[in-house]
Amino acid sequence: MILALFLSSVFAQQKQIQKTTYLFSYFKNNGEDGLHLAYSQDGLKWTALKENTPFLRPQVGSKLMRDPSICQGPDGMFHMVWTTGWWDKGIGIAHSKDLINWSEQTFLPVMGHERTAKNCWAPEIFYDEQSKRYLIFWATTIPGRFTETEASGDNNHRIYVVTTDDFQQYSKARLFYEPGFNVIDSFIVKDGERFVMFLKDETKQPVAQKNIRVAFSKKAEGPYGPASEPITAKYWAEGPTAIKIEGRWIVYFDKYTQHKYGAVISQDLKDWEDISNKVEFPEGTRHGTVFEVNKEILDNLIGDLRKDTEKCN
């Protein structure tokens, strides 16, 4: 009877899915157990898939899978990058056609050439249609590199980037964004003829900022202009990710000190409304990435879960 009720719920979920839907990749706790996925039809209520258990477990670097960022290429292949550890000089990468079956995980030592680099945090991946290249960008602290904003004994991040068109050869890492302050958690979207970077101001001294800001560029690879004033309120926010739904941009972020997720919304990327009280995420959701997929992808994810349940019974 329990199995019948469960399968009935699964089939009801399948019937409700529209032509396209939204997925959210995220991690829980410290990232030890791996990749989690949730879905939504309206961008507000997010439902965990696989009963909030992981789809892929970490195997490279320090064997964490934090900040998973997923991008679908023009050939339909999904590519994921993630933080493999707090103090690794590289990032993780894997590929999948269906988000169920994944390639062998690879550790990319993107900052291995920088002897004093401390870390590689929160990588994101973005496909640039104009150059037909993937941009992979992340935050790294290199002590002594930006002394004007360096606080004693603290991290002082900037955003770095590599590009690739085949995931075999990668460009050398270069400085991608230097806003004049400690910055992490950048995320890029295309808005018409311009590109938008959401980022976290990680300034800690003399006054902690911990807010989300926006910068713009004519090209995906930059240069990006000055960071805007904060688009989030006085709570601490990190890990911004954004998507346009029905003509409005929704930016989601991790309210990490409050252990919950928040969101702001805008039609023009200038005026923002906080809708944190209107979004609902699975318990334990941490720093994730939103992306759109077609109906078949989610059908397969739900169908694979049904098969696993049938095997267990």
Q: How many CA atoms lie within 13 A of 251 on its CB side?
A: 33
Q: Indicate whether 285 belongs to any domain.
A: yes
* 241 CB-side CA count, 13 A: 27
pTM to 2 decimal places: 0.91
Give the per-residue pLDDT at 18.
59
Per-residue pLDDT of the chain (313 residues; tens, 9 = 90+): 444 444 444 444 444 445 889 999 999 999 999 999 999 999 999 999 999 999 999 999 999 999 999 999 999 999 999 999 999 999 999 999 999 999 999 999 999 999 999 999 999 999 999 999 999 999 999 999 999 998 877 899 999 999 999 999 999 999 999 999 999 999 999 999 999 999 999 998 888 899 999 999 999 999 999 999 999 999 999 999 999 999 999 999 999 999 999 999 999 999 999 999 999 999 999 999 999 999 999 999 998 655 554 454 4
Domain total in the chain = 1
Cα 34 from Cα 26, distance rounded (Å):
9
- Quote the pLDDT of residue 305: 58
Could you tell me if residue 279 is inside a domain?
yes
What tokens were used for 122?
């929160």
pLDDT of 76 reads 97
Is 212 inside any structural domain?
yes
Residues 6+ apart with CB under 8 A from 218: 193, 194, 195
CATH number at residue 85: 2.115.10.20
Is 305 inside a domain boundary? no
The pLDDT assigned to 154 comes to 86
Only one residue has tokens 């899915």, namely 17
In a domain? residue 312: no
pLDDT at 1: 46
159 lies in a domain? Answer: yes
pLDDT at 196: 98
For residue 71, give its domain range.
Answer: 20-300
Residue 309 domain flag: no
What pLDDT is attached to residue 208?
A: 86
Determine contact, residues 176/159, Cβ cutoff 8 Å: yes
Say if 203 falls within a structural domain.
yes
